[in-house]
Amino acid sequence: MSNFKEDLMKVKAFVFDVDGVLSSQMIPMHPSGEPMRTANIKDGFALQLTVKLGYPVAIISGGNTHAVQKRYEGLGVKHIYLGISKKLPCFEEWLEETGVNADEVMYMGDDLPDYPVMKRVGVPVCPSDAVEEIKSLCKYISDKKGGEGAVRDVMEQVLRAHGKWALDYIW
């Protein structure tokens, strides 16, 4: 693994998967058959703060539910891509749209659909319960599971390294 503290300093944008990252690996099913997801409040605070600070944030997920769209739009995330089976082309389009360099992106994924994007970014990270193939790519493995604060963990580390964490920046 490289020097993660140095990697934190180069992060200028964030991209996250949903299932297994922003939500747990368990997906309860509504009686209607619609999959339901949980969302971690602390992850949500970190996402909202990061967006307010002007960092580009994107969500790219193979899942496609209105609740996910509504949740993250409510936190200010403008780039939400759902129902994406091949994430790398979507990621490349997002880079072009935002002008962000892939080397400056922190991407958190947990499973094989995330692999191509994670090979492309400068700072691949994952939750503690990611699959081994993903862990092998990562510059940092959170001690938190997906949906249980892993997103907050990495975002807080970046913002602290940049001197922009909540207590340092807002109050």
Q: What is the pLDDT of residue 98?
A: 97
pLDDT at 171 over 80: no
Residues 6 or more apart whose CB falls under 8 angstroms from that of 157 comprise: 8, 140
CB-based contacts of 68, cutoff 8 Å, min separation 6:
18, 37, 59, 61, 80, 82
% the chain with pLDDT above 90: 77
**Token code pair at residue 52:** 């307010």
Q: Please give the domain boundaries of the chain with CATH numbers for all domains.
A: 4-23+37-169 (3.40.50.1000)
Write out the binding residues: 17, 19, 110
pLDDT of amino acid 167: 67
pLDDT recorded at residue 64:
86
| Residues 5-58: tens digit of each pLDDT | 999 999 999 999 998 899 756 565 567 767 656 777 899 999 999 999 999 999
Residue 171 CB neighbours (<10 A): 5
State residue 33's pLDDT score: 67
Q: How confident is the model over 55-91, as pLDDT tens digits?
A: 999 999 998 888 889 999 999 999 999 999 999 999 9
Alpha carbons 132 and 102: distance in angstroms, whole number = 23
CA dihedral 133, 3, 89, 54 (to 10 degrees): 130
Report pLDDT digits (tens) over 102-158: 999 999 999 999 999 999 999 999 999 999 999 999 999 999 999 999 999 999 999
Residue position matching structure tokens 């129902």: 83
Could you list the residues known to form a binding site for Mg(2+), using ranges: 17, 110
Strand pairing partners for 106?
A: 14, 123
Classify residue 77 as exposed, middle or buried by CB count within 10 Å of its CB (0-12, 13-18, 19+): buried
**Arithmetic mean of pLDDT over the chain:** 90
Q: What is the pTM of this model?
A: 0.90
Q: What pLDDT was estimated at residue 170? A: 54
Residues at the binding site for substrate are 19
Per DSSP, the three-state class of 14 is strand
